[in-house]
Amino acid sequence: MSIIVENLSKTFKIKEKQKGIGGALKSLVAPKTKLIKAVEDISFTIDDGQAVGFIGPNGAGKSTTVKMLSGILYPSAGRINVNGLVPYKNRIEHVKNIGVVFGQKSQLWWDLPITDTFDLLKKIYKIPSDVYSRNLELFNEILGLHEFETQQVRQLSLGQRMRADIAAAFLHEPSIVFLDEPTIGLDVVAKEKIRLFIKEINRVKKTTLLFTTHDMTDIEKTCQRIIVIDKGKILYDGTIDSFKTKLNKDDFNEAVYEMFTGGI
- The CATH number linked to 199 is 3.40.50.300
> Contact at 8 Å (CB) between 231 and 61?
yes
> How many domains are contained in the chain?
1
Residue 37, domain member (yes or no): no
pLDDT per residue as tens digits for the range 59-101: 899 999 999 999 999 999 999 999 999 999 999 999 999 999 9
Enter the pTM of the model. Answer: 0.86
pLDDT per residue as tens digits for the range 123-141: 999 999 999 999 999 999 8
Q: How would residue 156 be classed by pLDDT, with cut points 50, 70 and 90?
A: very high
Residue 107, domain member (yes or no): yes
What distance in Å separates the CA atoms of residue 63 and residue 102, rounded to the nearest whole number? Answer: 9
Residue 149, domain member (yes or no): yes
What average pLDDT does the structure give for the chain? 88
Query: Residue 66: what pLDDT?
Result: 94
Query: Residue 126: what pLDDT?
Result: 94
Residue 190, domain member (yes or no): yes
Residue 22, domain member (yes or no): no
Neighbour-count burial of 220, counting CB atoms closer than 10 A to its CB (0-12 exposed, 13-18 middle, 19+ buried): middle
Residue 33, domain member (yes or no): no
Residue 198, domain member (yes or no): yes
Whether residue 248 has pLDDT greater than 90:
no
pLDDT per residue as tens digits for the range 29-55: 667 778 899 999 999 999 999 999 998
Residue 249: other Cβ atoms inside 10 A? 11
Residue 104, domain member (yes or no): yes
Q: Which domain holds residue 76?
A: 3-7+45-261
Calculate what percentage of the chain has a pLDDT beyond 70: 88
Q: Phi and psi dihedrals of 253, rounded to 5?
A: -70, 170
Q: How would residue 216 be classed by pLDDT, with cut points 50, 70 and 90?
A: confident
Whether residue 231 has pLDDT greater than 50:
yes
